[in-house]
Structure 1
């Protein structure tokens, strides 16, 4: 799999705004009380911090699932860190799962199977992963690669028109 042609760079400011927008959506949901956040590392760490602050959730747990072994190739799923057993009680009811993105849905599917009654929320969703997510902020096309602020430095970006043929 090569990197998609469409690039969606996200600045720190934009990511923070999007994480707060997700918190607003979650605050307006029927869940009056979340008992904990389980964030999918590494991408879920930053939005989980913002959402925990905005919603007053103090218990944050991680689950570490590796699927991208480099930025272009998705490989076999590996669970590197399990979820604390107490959060698995009642199939994750009252738990909020947070990630930055659902792409193919493979990682989301693994975590959702661990916590089937949890509420799954992401900042960004692609069509293949979208059915596994309960709440998200922005949907992007499957052939778009999102460049998160922690993956980027400041460099020149050539205009889109320079890539057009003719």
Structure 2
């Protein structure tokens, strides 16, 4: 709730999904497709997902100005964060930055060791919040995205794999 009230970085995707918008963003040349050509070796699925997420998020921050017929990011602070996110994502693709839960392009660009708005998981599907994060995250009356990053993430991931 606290993060929602701040509305620091507002995305503008409306009812469409990122996948639906991606077609438009690529056609309009705001999607950073050049990221795919920066690596000299194949990327693992985690890196590929991170690059796609960062690219989608950066594009979602843009608005379309009907007069100039150009895409832009309204707030200077948001533009600065988007530029940092792109820089750190480039470093990941080039192998200069090895991301982890508390140090990835999003956390570095946002300046926080944890950023709400995504689920950090490991393998499998349909695991559910309780199995992944523990019962304290499903039974508290607060939003899951406002819960602090678990300090014992490695132990939780290991227990899921068992």
Settle same-fold status: TM greater than 0.5: no
Question: Computing the radius of gyration over CA atoms, which structure comes out larger, 1 or 2?
Answer: 2
The higher-RCO structure (CA 8 Å, 6+ apart) is 1
More helix by share: 2
TM-score (norm 2): 0.27
- Greater fraction strand: 1
